Chain A
Amino acid sequence: MKAPVSTAIAIAFGLIVLLGYFIPLPLFNALRDILLEWAIVLAGVAVFVGVANLFLVHGRKISRSQPGSGYSYVVIIAMLATIIVAALFGPTGYWSLWLFKNIQVPVETSLIGVLAIILVYAAARLLRRKLNLFSIIFFATVLVVLLGSVPLLGIEIPGLHGEFGLRSLLIQLPAVAGARGILLGVALGALAAGIRVLMGVDRPYGG
């Protein structure tokens, strides 16, 4: 068996947390809380791990002079600058907020704008990519919801807009119902994935 110690720890702790959720015993509750606190701490540390990984990846790219290493210089410089500023002025200091407000927010907002264009293009090419009944239904639903989202030139079309319009009806009934069903399936899948981890079949921690 690959990584037997890691597997044993994963199975043991998983069972403890699971029992702690379903069996309201003080012992299980106490253990569960302790383990969850450890997990929260580890999750916080994982942010630093992510930062370190990001730094190493771009540093390796620079050292090997791979294509696009110029952007890696920008990433590392920006990272270091932000860390330094936040460390000096605090995360909510003026300059920290200035960097956040004038660099990060505009950059990500523009990316969302690009995303909007991409989604419109994707919707426009949907029928060209695959033409079947479900694609047509999807396409029509997109149009109805978009049209019903805002009054057309200030005019609310009865039957389309309003609380009982077609848009509200589509959102509240088939969309939500379908989403619920998908979520149930996702929940079952998540349960199966968790069971496989508890059984030791899935070992993402394999060394």
Chain B
Amino acid sequence: MAADMAELRCPMCGKANPEELDVCQFCQARLKPVLPSAPIPEDEQAAVEGSSRLPEPAAQDDSLSDWLNFLRDSGAESEGPPAESGGEDQPPPAGELPQWLERTGGEASEPVGEGDSQDWLDSLRKRGEEITGPLGQETVPEESMDEDWPASVKLPDQDYVPEWLAGASLGDQAGEPLAEPPSEEESSLESDDEPDWLQKIRLRQRDETEESQSVESAPAEEPGMPDWLGEPASGVPAAPDEPAESVSDWLADLRSGGAPVGEEVELPEAPATGEELPAAEQELEQPLEETPAPPPEILEEAAAPVLGAAEEIPTAPQISDEEIPDWLAGLVAGKAAAAAAGSVEADAESLPDWLADLDKPSDADSGVIVPFGEEEPGLTFDWLQEQVRADQGLAVPPPESSEAEEVQAEKITPFVGDLSDFLEEEYLSTPEGERPPAAQPEEGLTPAELPNWLEAMRPLDAAAMSAAVLDEGESQIESSGPLAGLRGILPAEPDVARLKKPPTYAMRLQVSESQQANANLLDELVKTEGQPRAVRMGAAITSQHVWRLIIFVVLIGVIIWKALTGSQEVALPQPLPEILDTGSVIGALPSNSVVLLAVDYEPGFSGEMKATSAAVIDHLMLKGAYFALVSTSPAGVGLAEQLIQDASALGGHQYQVIDRYANLGYIPGGPMGVVGFANAPRKMTPFALDVDSTAVWSREPLQRVTRLADFDLVAVLTEDADTARVWIEQVQPALDSTPLVMLLSAQAEPMVRPYYQSSSNQVQGMVAGLLGGGSYESAHQDLLAGDGPARRYWDAFSLSMLAAVILIALGGLVSLLTQALASRDTSEGEKKS
């Protein structure tokens, strides 16, 4: 709330401004109206009453009020001094500028009384006339001019030089010579405050002073009237008289009489040279700001509604002094005559109506404030438009649609950026019936005619236009401030209190196609992130499965075939040295020898180990050996038991536990257990596993065994090379002369052979794998009746071995071919690329 309280809303554009500003920072409109009730200092009232005040262009904040003040003052000058104002304006002393002109030095304009409201209005009208005239428009017939023009406006004398042109004070009497150009000091002071256009005009007038000789001097002007218009109205301070030389030709024509009605008149030439006048006229047209004059193009565009939108506004031609329009000259002469007669009603035939009405008492004289546009229809510029159109034979556009058409034609959009298209589309897309109603002028009232340049500067709001601008029914006449009397002004005060529909903005995002595509892509990515991707399952049957199946079928097929047929066609291998040595060792054993049999292989290798050791066990059984069974693996206990029973059954030896063998059980600790057993076998295995005879060490033949060396033979059955090495390395040192024989799986042979072949001769005999078992059987044909396990397995074993070799070779060959083909494809692909 505090923030709102500190802000001011601009009456023109509706935007918020800081409180301390006097002029809107966006549209430069005045924020703080000039209060009409503010008392005017007494010393300034004379200047106010007797002069047509020109806006003081020094401060930008007062620029708006300056030109209005100027207009007001020019009107008040023609009417005479206002009621509340005291005293008549005294002509400024020689050498001094008129007060109205002094005020162009930049000081804030003095608050103007209400009685002066009509003055600026008159000035507006004059200003409009000035605009239309020099721009090449056809002049308004005298009659219409006479009708519309307030009576207070008096035509200047022939010799009258407008104050704003010559820089003369308004307080001067008509015909009085222009005041001397201000001193350099004064000019330097004032030139800083004066607008550029005014300075140029002064310079021009100074130049023309010497030239103009033929200009008829206008009758004495009444005080209060602009010089260029001739004698001011009663009560209006007379414009200063100007030397005849300084009045432009077109003004001279004014005094001599107006042109006949209907006669096309070219644009009057400016008082100065023709090429300077448009610039000067243009400079006059910038009342709001101390900005450079709008280019002629803008002026032409601004003047377009006056003539009609379709018409091209011809540029201001260069008019020579000889081409002063007759109507203007006639106007001046007629007015001068009327003014001399003291009658407002001049020669109606010679004077345009608007000029004829100049002397008529207006409402402003009586102190009644008439809203702008309501005093008389002729007071607006519409009369001028109509007259011009009528002369040209053009259709007069309906006034109520002029502004709407103008808006539509120009398609002024109140928005900037991307939203403007949307709102513009929305406004245009709405049916005409739903659109905000255009401003409807009241009957009998001519809508306010703003200058074109002002019209162009007016901020348009699609919503506000209908409500606040276009709807003339709701428009109200401003009652205070610099725009007092004007209709259609955006109310500042009511706007603050009135709920105003805020401008709507499009909610639709402006996105391009590429942006939309990227957004869609991102959306898909996000959606797919939470969706699990289907795992592509591999083929159920791959080359792995095929190869495994082939190998299985071949190997199993061969073995089953040979097993079922029971063929023994393949000869057993010849005995190897280690086989013979083993046989020798066993053969050298005494009868009833005690053999330590260490069974340290896994149950899975029992088939191979059975084939490997069956003949050796049978040989030992034939020798009558007593077996002491031990194992360093938990499963070895059962394997040892199974081995003896199978060998006994196979050889028919009837080996019974306790009588012929003792199972000493499991030796834990691995190598440490072997070392401990080697050092103290009774301590490591104190009991036998047989429930009937646990105290085996106290019975024969183990009774005499106290250490490992007391055994007659140590035979180790294992499939693991490390276990074999442990037994060899840990037990052999404790054996002394006791032989050590290794019964191994084929996979452990390479690691144990060095122990057999070394000079240390740690192993005295070795039988390895099915080959060793078969070789042992072939060397001792009397063992197992020549039909030992090795003999039965030998054919299947040899054929399956051959099949395995063939399968391995075939697989290697296929792998090589596959690699070669793949590398060739890769090289071809690289070549192609």
Indicate if A touches B (C-beta under 8 A). Answer: yes
> In the assembled complex, how far is the CB of residue B630 from the closest CB belonging to chain A, in whole angstroms?
13
**Measured between C-beta atoms, what is the minimum distance from A69 to chain B in Å?**
25
- Given A126-B812, A128-B815, A100:B642 Cβ within 8 A: yes
Q: A176–B754 contact, CB under 8 A?
A: yes
| Contact residues of B between 626 and 668, Cβ < 8 Å to A | 634-635, 637-639, 641-642, 657, 663, 665, 668
Q: Write out the residue numbers on chain B whose beta carbons fall within 8 Å of the beta carbon of A39.
A: 669, 672
With a CB–CB cut-off of 8 A, which chain B residues contact A96?
638
Residues B642 and A105 in contact, CB atoms below 8 Å apart: yes
List residues of chain A with CB within 8 A of the CB of B794: 150
* Stretch of A56-64, A113-121, A195-203 that contacts chain B: A113-121
How many residue pairs between the two chains, A and B, have CB atoms under 8 Å in the bound complex?
A: 168
B548, B641, B669: which contacts A40 (Cβ < 8 A)? B669
Say yes or no: B571 contacts A154, CB within 8 Å. yes
- B750: Cβ under 8 A from any A Cβ: yes
In the complex, what's the smallest C-beta–C-beta distance from B750 to chain A, in angstroms?
5
Contacts of A175 in B (CB 8 A): 750
Indicate if A65 sits at the interface (CB-CB under 8 A). Answer: no
B801 at the A/B interface (Cβ < 8 Å)? yes
CB interface residues, B 796-833, toward A, < 8 Å: 797-799, 801-802, 804-805, 807-812, 814-816, 818-819
Nearest B residue to A144 via CB reads B805
Given the known interface contacts A172-B757, A180-B754, the answer about A36 and B805 at a Cβ–Cβ threshold of 8 Å is no
Number of interface residues of A (CB under 8 A): 54
- A152–B798 alpha-carbon span in the complex (Å): 7
> With an 8 A cutoff between CB atoms, is B26 at the interface?
no
B812 and A171: CB pair below 8 A? Answer: no
Contacts of A151 in B (CB 8 A): 570-571, 573, 798
A163 to B577, CA, bound (A): 8
Docked CA distance A207–B819 (Å): 51
Q: How far is the CA of A37 from the CA of B668 in the complex (A)?
A: 10
Q: Cβ of A109 and Cβ of B607 under 8 Å apart?
A: yes
Task: Please measure, in the bound complex, the distance between the C-alpha atom of A148 and the C-alpha atom of B807, giving whole angstroms.
Answer: 16
Is residue B295 contacting chain A, with contact meaning CB distance below 8 A?
no
Select one of A97, A112, A163 contacting B605, CB under 8 A: A112
Q: Which residues of B contact A112 (CB under 8 A)?
A: 604-605, 607
A123 and B808 contact, CB distance less than 8 A = yes
Known contacts A40-B668, A111-B604, A124-B812, A153 near B570 by CB under 8 Å: yes
Interface pair B603/A105, CB less than 8 Å apart: yes
Tell me the smallest distance from the CB of A206 to a CB of chain B, in Å.
24
Closest beta carbon of chain B to A160's beta carbon, Å: 12
CB of B690 within 8 Å of the partner chain: yes
- Whether a CB of chain B sits under 8 angstroms from the CB of A166 is no
CB–CB A117/B816 < 8 A: no
In the complex, the answer to whether B809 meets A143 with C-beta atoms within 8 Å is: yes
In Å, the complex CA distance between A119 and B577 comes to: 30
- Per-residue CB contact flags for chain A residues 83-120 toward chain B (1 = under 8 Å, else 0) read 00000001111001100110011001101100011001
CB-CB nearest in chain A for B657: A92
Q: What's the minimum C-beta distance from A90 to chain B, rounded to whole angstroms?
A: 5
What A residues does B576 contact at CB under 8 A?
163
Which residue of the partner chain A has the closest CB to B559? Answer: A113
List residues of A (32-74) whose CB comes within 8 Å of B's CBs.
36-37, 39-41, 43-44, 47
Cβ-defined contact, B750 with A176, below 8 A: yes
Q: Which residues from chain A contact B639 at a C-beta distance below 8 Å?
A: 105
Knowing A109-B606, A151-B570, A176-B754 are in contact, say whether A146-B801 is a contact too (CB < 8 A). yes
Q: Would you call the interface of chain A mostly helix, strand, loop, or mixed? A: helix
Chain A residue nearest to B813 in the complex (CB): A127
Is A18 part of the binding interface, using a Cβ–Cβ cutoff of 8 Å?
no
Given A171-B753, A176-B750, the answer on whether A149 and B663 have CB atoms closer than 8 Å is no
Interface residues of A in 135-179 (CB under 8 A from B): 139, 142-143, 146-147, 149-154, 156, 161-163, 171-172, 175-176, 179
CB distance from A112 to the nearest CB of B (A): 4
Check if B746 is an interface residue, CB within 8 A of chain A: yes
Q: Is the interface of B mostly helix, strand, loop or mixed?
A: helix
A131 within 8 A of B: yes
- Is A125 in the interface zone, CB < 8 Å from B? yes
Interchain CA distance A93-B691 in the complex, whole Å: 9
Minimal Cβ-Cβ distance residue in B for A142: B808
Q: Are the C-beta atoms of B604 and A109 separated by less than 8 Å?
A: yes
**Pairwise interchain contact A91-B603, C-beta atoms closer than 8 A:** no
Inter-subunit contact B798/A36 (CB<8 Å): no
B505 to chain A, nearest CB (A): 62
Q: Are B606 and A120 in contact (CB under 8 A)?
A: no
Bound Cα distance from A147 to B555, whole angstroms: 16
Are the C-beta atoms of A146 and B805 separated by less than 8 Å? yes
Chain B 718-756, CB within 8 Å of chain A: the 1/0 string?
Answer: 000000000000000000000000000010011101100
- Give chain B residues whose Cβ lies under 8 Å from the Cβ of A154: 569-571, 798
| B404 sits at the interface (CB 8 A) | no
- For A100, the closest partner residue in chain B by CB is B638
A residues in contact with B561, CB < 8 Å: none
Q: In whole Å, how far is B600's beta carbon from the nearest beta carbon of chain A? A: 15
> Does B642 lie within 8 Å of A97, measured CB to CB?
yes
B436 at the interface (CB under 8 A from A): no
- Among A36, A41, A47, A125, the residue within 8 A (CB) of B675 is A36
When C-beta atoms are compared, the residue in chain A nearest to B801 turns out to be: A150
Given A40-B669, A104-B603, A127-B816, does the pair A143, B808 have CB atoms closer than 8 Å? yes
Within 8 Å CB of A128, what residues of B?
Answer: 811, 814-815, 818-819
Separation in Å of the B423 CB from the closest CB of chain A?
67
Does chain A have a CB within 8 A of B676?
A: yes
Min distance, Cβ A117 to any Cβ of chain B, angstroms: 5
Provide the residues of chain A in CB contact with B675, threshold 8 Å: 36
Q: Which residues of B contact A41 (CB under 8 A)?
A: 668
State A61–B804 Cα separation when bound (angstroms): 40
* CB-based contact A116/B605 at 8 Å: no
Is B462 interfacial (CB-CB < 8 Å)?
Answer: no
Asked if A117 and B642 sit within 8 Å, CB to CB, the answer is no
Instruction: Tell me how far the C-beta of B634 lies from the nearest C-beta in chain A, rounded to whole angstroms.
Output: 6
Residues of A within 8 A of B16 (CB): none
Instruction: Collect the chain A residues with CB atoms within 8 Å of residue B642's CB.
Output: 97, 100-101, 105
Residues on the B chain within 8 Å of A116, using CB: 555
Across the interface, do A139 and B812 meet the contact criterion of CB distance under 8 Å?
Answer: yes
Chain B residues lying within 8 Å of A179, measured Cβ to Cβ, are: 750-751
Q: Which of A101, A120, A142, A172 contacts B551 (CB 8 A)?
A: A120
The answer to whether B604 and A44 touch across the interface, beta carbons within 8 angstroms, is no
B602 interface contact, C-beta 8 A: yes
Q: Which residues in B have their C-beta under 8 angstroms from that of A36?
A: 669, 672, 675-676
Chain A residues with CB below 8 A from B547, complex form: 121, 124-125
What chain A residues lie within 8 Å of B181 (beta carbons)? none
Indicate if B673 sits at the interface (CB-CB under 8 A): yes
Selected A-B contacts with CB under 8 Å, 22 pairs: A39-B669, A40-B669, A43-B670, A47-B668, A92-B657, A97-B641, A104-B603, A104-B638, A108-B602, A108-B604, A117-B552, A120-B551, A123-B808, A124-B551, A124-B810, A143-B809, A149-B746, A150-B797, A150-B801, A154-B571, A154-B798, A176-B754
Could you list 5 further interchain pairs (A-B, Cβ under 8 angstroms) beyond the known A139-B812, A152-B798?
A39-B672, A93-B691, A109-B606, A121-B548, A146-B801
B residues whose Cβ falls under 8 Å from a Cβ of A? 544, 547-548, 551-552, 555, 569-571, 573-574, 576-577, 602-607, 634-635, 637-639, 641-642, 657, 663, 665, 668-670, 672-673, 675-676, 689-691, 746, 749-751, 753-754, 757, 769, 771, 794, 797-799, 801-802, 804-805, 807-812, 814-816, 818-819
7 cross-chain pairs, A with B, having the tightest CB-CB distances, nearest first: A124-B811, A108-B604, A40-B669, A128-B815, A44-B668, A127-B815, A112-B604
Which A residues are within 8 Å of any B CB, using their own CB? 36-37, 39-41, 43-44, 47, 90-93, 96-97, 100-101, 104-105, 108-109, 111-112, 116-117, 120-121, 123-128, 131, 139, 142-143, 146-147, 149-154, 156, 161-163, 171-172, 175-176, 179-180
